[in-house]
């Protein structure tokens, strides 16, 4: 009884936080209640009414399952904060009839288990045992306004300021807060959806979108390829569309659409590059949806329609590697998917590696290597704060929220593992291996152990004596980096390091420095400043380069980190505005952490967080709340 075991583990073990000493079962998803050994969803049908006023989605989810166990009498699904009004089963399944007329639906007994703070509530549906291989269930339900995957924005919180906006962000385990289903990446299903909205807004999904869709308040979607639940995504707002190529385009609010299409004009050539390297793009169109600034991530690889933060629009395409990243997920992540969140490095490490290959091909090696060095800096900072067990690629996430446990390890250490294999076996062999890997596991979800078996058969054993199995296991399970890791270097940063130290030593003026620097060089210039610069030097920098007024979100982030450390008051207003207007966790979480290091900063952090909170996505609030209220004193709010 897998569902019940998981239920008990979830409920009982949470306070001990990772102290679980029972051996981990790599094939088991510890973040789902679903009894996937007995039933597996194959199709999801949605009929949803989106009410932007009352912030509720009401609807019906019709799930089709393959029954694996004829004796099973319970179907267990994942939910979180859902109100379940009714559950019914297709009567033809009950009676064994084969009538082709409209199916009859018969109500089935169901109940919700006590909610677990991380996993939500198991929805347990009683079913009669059956020899049929297919079963269909219909669930009539509604969401709560606090659903963890949904952000409801008021008109004022959007770029256009006239219409409300809704978007979902569900990875890793948030889909259960807006659709009752088997919320585990082990299960892949196709989906169809009918979405009803007010007639003046447009709905888009991670599915086939029609760029010419009429605005009439009724939108239908189909995702014909089987995808894991976390990739079902929806956005509703006052959106426009602009083409950037035959297979690519941008959706955005009107005030943003022109700039967005310009910034992301290279998407089509990124796609062509990726196809040359990794095999055909298998999802028909690739469009980008520019999100409101509150979007918690840099991007989310929702298939056929990546959701992208507007903070990568610097005006000069200097931050568009995020597009290369989300596009690369069309191979690593969406086509071949991690089977559990322990295996997230198979999604993210591969994707950062692919991203870097695409960036190198489209924008040159220099940009790719600068980004790799910045990534390594971030990884080292994470190693410094993480306990050894969490520095492994395949980490034990039992009893933890996989969203809050995410670090740069699966991304950057994962990338370095693939860079290592690339260097050891040579580009030609490694590229052939990658293409074979994507073909072999296309539309499948795999564990680290399945990857290892494929790696052994197709690379390690085919070219023996180059990398051993133990070396692979060290990458995946040991802390830190192996001594023979191949680390990135950037000659473009050597110039920057020289300029910085010359200025600090009084050998160089600021005014003749940085004229041709790229964004990444400015970020590196600021990130490696000594922590205590003093007011005079801060003001000298600000006057020379106008950092306080920078419109480049990454440069501004690095500057504000420095401003907090140095208590540089002229940037205070900008800091508050930045924290209130941006919800991207990577940019704002470190600023809150930095503020919390002094008593005065902590007061600012709490005050600004209280003001900004209503504009943040629930997952951003969940990430920042424990930082600004470490003892949980404001939990009651």
- Residues annotated as catalytic (active site), given as ranges: 326, 411
Beta strands in 323-481 (DSSP E): 336-338, 444-446
Part in contact with Zn ion (CB under 5 A); list of ranges 135-143, 349-357, 522-530, 597-605: 349-357
Q: How far apart are CB 218 and Zn ion at their closest, in Å?
A: 33
How many other CB atoms are there within 10 angstroms of residue 546's CB atom?
11
State which residue, 186 or 351, has the beta carbon closest to Zn ion.
351
Q: How far apart are CB 410 and Zn ion at their closest, in Å?
A: 9
Part in contact with Zn ion (CB under 5 A); list of ranges 253-261, 346-354, 396-404, 527-535: 346-354
State which residue, 248 or 351, has the beta carbon closest to Zn ion.
351
Contact 301, 227 (CB under 8 A): no
Q: Which residue(s) pair with 191 in the sheet?
A: 44, 223
Site for Zn ion in 365-404 (CB under 5 A): none
Rounded to an integer, what distance in angstroms lies between the CA atom of residue 568 and that of residue 533? 10
Q: Which two tokens stand for residue 61?
A: 């989810």
Rounded to an integer, what distance in angstroms lies between the CA atom of residue 327 and that of residue 307? 11
Q: How far apart are CB 35 and Zn ion at their closest, in Å?
A: 29
Question: Which H helix or E strand runs over 122?
Answer: strand 121-126
Q: How far apart are CB 591 and Zn ion at their closest, in Å?
A: 22
Beta strands in 474-605 (DSSP E): none
Mapped onto helix, strand or coil, the DSSP state of residue 510 is helix
CA 631 to chain centre: 28
Query: Pick from 222, 133, 123: which is nearest to 179 by CA?
Result: 123
State which residue, 52 or 231, has the beta carbon closest to Zn ion.
231
x/- string (CB under 5 A) for Zn ion, residues 295-334? ----------------------------------------
| 236 DSSP 8-state letter | E
Nearest residue to Zn ion by CB is 351
Contact 366, 382 (CB under 8 A): no
Q: How far apart are CB 325 and Zn ion at their closest, in Å?
A: 6
State which residue, 374 or 628, has the beta carbon closest to Zn ion.
374
Q: How far apart are CB 76 and Zn ion at their closest, in Å?
A: 29
Q: Which residues of 525-545 are buried (b: 16+ CB within 10 A; e: fewer)?
A: bbeebeeebeeebbeebbeeb
State which residue, 334 or 519, has the beta carbon closest to Zn ion.
334
State which residue, 159 or 587, has the beta carbon closest to Zn ion.
587
Part in contact with Zn ion (CB under 5 A); list of ranges 113-121, 150-158, 191-199, 343-351: 343-351
Binding footprint of Zn ion, residue count (CB under 5 A): 2
Mapped onto helix, strand or coil, the DSSP state of residue 89 is strand
Q: How far apart are CB 352 and Zn ion at their closest, in Å?
A: 7
Contact 91, 105 (CB under 8 A): yes
The residue whose two tokens read 């890791």 is 485
Site for Zn ion in 592-611 (CB under 5 A): none
Rounded to an integer, what distance in angstroms lies between the CA atom of residue 524 and that of residue 237? 37
Site for Zn ion in 350-369 (CB under 5 A): 351
Q: Which two tokens stand for residue 483?
A: 């001594």
Q: How far apart are CB 412 and Zn ion at their closest, in Å?
A: 12
Beta strands in 29-72 (DSSP E): 39-51, 56-67
Q: Which two tokens stand for residue 408?
A: 């740069």
The residue whose two tokens read 């990130």 is 527
Phi, psi dihedrals of residue 357, rounded to the nearest 5°:
-65, -40
State which residue, 318 or 351, has the beta carbon closest to Zn ion.
351
State which residue, 348 or 556, has the beta carbon closest to Zn ion.
348
Part in contact with Zn ion (CB under 5 A); list of ranges 204-212, 340-348, 444-452, 526-534: 340-348
Q: Write out the residues near Zn ion by the rule CB under 5 A.
A: 348, 351
């Amino acid at each position: 009884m897998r569902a019940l075991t998981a239920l008990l583990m979830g409920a009982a073990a949470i306070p001990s936080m990772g102290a679980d000493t029972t051996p981990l079962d790599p094939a088991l998803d510890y973040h789902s209640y679903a009894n996937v050994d007995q039933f597996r969803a194959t199709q999801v049908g949605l009929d949803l009414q989106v009410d932007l006023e009352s912030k509720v989605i009401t609807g019906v989810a019709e799930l089709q399952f393959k029954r694996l166990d004829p004796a099973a009498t319970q179907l267990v699904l994942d939910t979180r904060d859902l109100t379940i009004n009714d559950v019914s089963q297709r009567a033809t399944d009950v009676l064994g009839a084969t009538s082709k007329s409209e199916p009859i639906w018969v109500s089935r007994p169901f109940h919700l288990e006590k909610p677990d703070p991380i996993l939500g509530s198991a929805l347990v549906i009683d079913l009669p045992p059956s020899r049929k291989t297919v079963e269909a269930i219909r669930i009539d339900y509604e969401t709560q306004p606090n659903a963890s995957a949904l952000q409801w924005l008021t008109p004022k919180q959007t770029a256009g300021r006239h219409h409300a906006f809704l978007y979902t962000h569900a990875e890793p385990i948030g889909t259960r807060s807006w659709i009752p289903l088997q919320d585990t990446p082990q299960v892949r299903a196709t989906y169809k959806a009918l979405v009803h909205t007010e007639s003046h807004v447009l709905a888009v999904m991670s599915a086939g979108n029609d760029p010419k869709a009429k605005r009439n308040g009724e939108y239908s979607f189909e995702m014909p390829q089987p995808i894991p639940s976390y990739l079902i995504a929806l956005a509703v707002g006052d959106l426009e569309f602009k083409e950037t190529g035959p297979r690519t385009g941008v959706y955005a609010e009107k005030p943003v659409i022109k700039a967005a299409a310009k910034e992301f004009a290279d998407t089509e050539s990124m796609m062509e590059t990726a196809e040359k390297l990794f095999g055909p793009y298998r999802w028909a169109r690739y469009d980008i949806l520019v999100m409101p600034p509150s979007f918690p991530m840099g991007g989310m690889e929702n298939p056929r329609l990546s959701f992208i933060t507007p903070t990568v629009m610097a005006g000069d395409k200097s931050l568009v590697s995020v597009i290369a990243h989300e596009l690369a997920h069309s191979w690593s992540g969406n086509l071949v998917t991690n089977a559990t969140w322990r295996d997230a490095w198979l999604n993210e490490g591969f994707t950062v590696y692919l991203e870097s290959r695409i960036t190198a091909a489209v924008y040159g090696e220099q940009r790719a290597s600068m980004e790799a060095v910045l990534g390594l800096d971030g990884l080292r900072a994470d190693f410094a704060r993480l306990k050894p067990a969490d520095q492994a690629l395949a980490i034990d996430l039992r009893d933890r929220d996989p969203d809050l446990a995410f670090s740069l390890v699966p991304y950057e250490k994962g990338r370095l593992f693939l860079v290592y294999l690339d260097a050891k076996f040579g580009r030609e062999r490694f590229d052939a291996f990658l293409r074979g890997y994507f073909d072999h596991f296309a539309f499948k979800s795999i564990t680290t152990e399945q990857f290892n078996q494929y790696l052994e058969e197709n690379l390690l054993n085919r070219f023996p004596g180059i990398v051993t199995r133990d070396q692979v296991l060290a990458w995946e399970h040991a802390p830190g980096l192996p001594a023979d890791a191949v680390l990135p270097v950037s000659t473009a940063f050597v110039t920057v390091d020289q300029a910085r130290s010359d200025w600090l030593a009084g050998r160089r003026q600021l005014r003749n420095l940085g004229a041709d620097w790229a964004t990444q060089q400015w970020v590196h210039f600021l990130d490696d400043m000594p922590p205590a610069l003093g007011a005079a030097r801060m003001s000298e920098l600000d006057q020379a380069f106008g950092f306080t007024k920078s419109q480049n979100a990454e440069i501004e982030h690095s500057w504000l980190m420095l401003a907090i450390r140095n208590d540089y008051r002229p940037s205070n207003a900008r800091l508050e505005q930045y924290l209130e207007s941006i919800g991207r966790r990577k940019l704002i979480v470190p600023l809150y952490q930095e503020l919390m290091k002094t008593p005065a900063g902590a007061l600012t952090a709490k005050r600004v967080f209280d003001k900004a909170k209503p504009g943040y996505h629930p997952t951003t609030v969940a990430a920042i709340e424990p930082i600004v209220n470490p003892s949980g004193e404001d939990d009651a709010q």
